[in-house]
Amino acid sequence: MPEAEEVKEIIKKHLATFPKRRKIVEIGFFGGNFTGIAVEEQEKYLDAAGEYLASGEIQGIRLSTRPDYINEQIIKLLKKYKVSTVELGAQSMVDEVLLKSGRGHTVEDTEKAAGLIKNAGIRLGLQMMIGLPGDKPAHDLHTAHEFIKLEAEDIRIYPTLVIRGTALAKLYEEGKYIPLEMKEAVHRSAEVFKVFETARLRVIRMGLHPSEGLLSGDDLVAGPFHEAFRELVMTEIWSEHLAPLMKDSDYETVEVFVSPAQFNFAIGYGAKNKKSLLKFYSTVVFRQNENLKAREYYVDYR
């Protein structure tokens, strides 16, 4: 853990790299359970971040913590330092899964914490893990719908990874835990992403990134890790979306027009979707059209 003065140096270093015409800059305290450390330590960090909030150099402070590390006193402290977002590592809304995974908190803990955060006017983020011990696809969808009921505004979806030195690693080595294969992890993540998308919840990350401080060297023992996991998920969703085009046709060429934001996803990771279409057409071209939104698309045949 960095000292408070180190935090200031990290902030200064990154602020210097941002363009003057930036949108919104936030400071995030992640990689642990922030509200579980000593209150004096919390205040040191929040003080350091607060200086930049007061000066207008940043526009928000966000942090992550456990659902059972939130109470009225903690909320008062976070309000005092104008914390804008709290993300809860809820992971699942099925008590059986939480118990088998040794998470140490319950569904009720998550519900209570979420209520306190929302009532305080703080933005609520919820993190879910797919493929925990005792987990199954029906649990994924249940958790997603429960997150919606809690009125979360930011969502993170993480497939479970086995990290060296953890209790899960021991279960894996004993043959008592089998992590998801990549294909299944992508599919299950795609299914819950679509649920959140329909409810207009913002999914801000899918899949763990090494920069989050949990992976380095040989720390990863097993599990569906991929640096472009989100792109894999979006590729699958687009594959389903383009399925009507993947059939025998009298046309040799197909041009697919999509929005600029979805262009790479539509083509697919490693051009997967384009390659699938090439099984039915001699020429496949993807083009951008700024008038299209979300996953709208149209095609021209020749």
**Domain contains 235:** no
Domain end residue (candidates: 170, 195, 227): 227
In terms of residue numbers, what domain contains 127?
Answer: 4-227
Q: Is residue 15 part of a domain?
A: yes
Q: In residues, how long is the chain? A: 302
210 and 254, same domain (yes or no): no
Cβ neighbours, 10 Å, residue 149: 11
- Give per-residue burial for 258-286: e unless 16+ CB within 10 Å, then b: bbeebebbbbbbeebbbebbeeebeebeb
Can you give the pLDDT at residue 213? Answer: 53
Q: How many CB atoms lie within 10 A of CB 20?
A: 4
Q: Are 249 and 216 in the same domain?
A: no
Q: Tell me, yes or no, whether 232 lies in a domain.
A: no
Residues of the chain with pLDDT under 50: none
Instruction: Report the C-alpha gap between 15 and 58 in whole angstroms.
Output: 9
83 and 196 share a domain? yes
Instruction: Look at residue 219 in the predicted model and tell me its pLDDT.
Output: 86
Concatenating the DSSP letter of every residue in 51-105 gives HHHHHTS--EEEEEE-GGG--HHHHHHHHHTT--EEEEEEE-S-HHHHHHTT---
Whether residues 39 and 85 share a domain: the answer is: yes
Q: What is the CATH number of the domain that holds 25?
A: 3.80.30.20
pLDDT of residue 215: 59
- CB atoms < 10 A from the CB of 91, how many? 24
What pLDDT does 280 receive?
A: 96
The predicted pLDDT at position 216 comes to: 59
- Residues 52 and 11 sit within 8 Å (Cβ to Cβ): yes
Show which of 198, 227, 256 is a domain's final residue: 227
Q: Residue 271: what residue type?
A: A
Domain match, 270 and 162 both: no
Q: Quick check: is 236 in a domain? A: no
Same domain flag for 265 and 198:
no
Q: Indicate if 56 and 178 belong to the same structural domain.
A: yes
Domain boundary among 194, 227, 260: 227
Does residue 286 lie in a domain region? yes
Residue 101 and residue 219 in one domain: yes
Q: Are residues 212 and 275 in the same domain?
A: no
According to the model, what pLDDT value does residue 21 have? 73
- Phi first, then psi: give them for residue 90, nearest 5 degrees: -70, -45
What's the pLDDT score for residue 193? 98
Q: Is 234 within the bounds of a domain?
A: no
Co-location of 266 and 134 in the same domain = no
pLDDT in tens, 92-101: 999 999 999 9
- CA torsion 119→123→129→132, rounded to 10°? -20
85 inside domain:
yes
The number of distinct structural domains making up the chain is: 2
Same domain, 132 and 185: yes
Tell whether 212 and 258 lie within a shared domain: no
**What integer pLDDT is reported at residue 48 of this predicted model?**
92
- What is the pTM for the complete model shown? 0.91
Residues 6+ apart with CB under 8 A from 109: 67, 68
- Please indicate, yes or no, if residue 281 is contained in any of the structural domains: yes
Contact (Cβ atoms closer than 8 angstroms) between residue 188 and residue 144: no
Given this model, what pLDDT does residue 166 score?
92
| pLDDT at res. 211 | 59
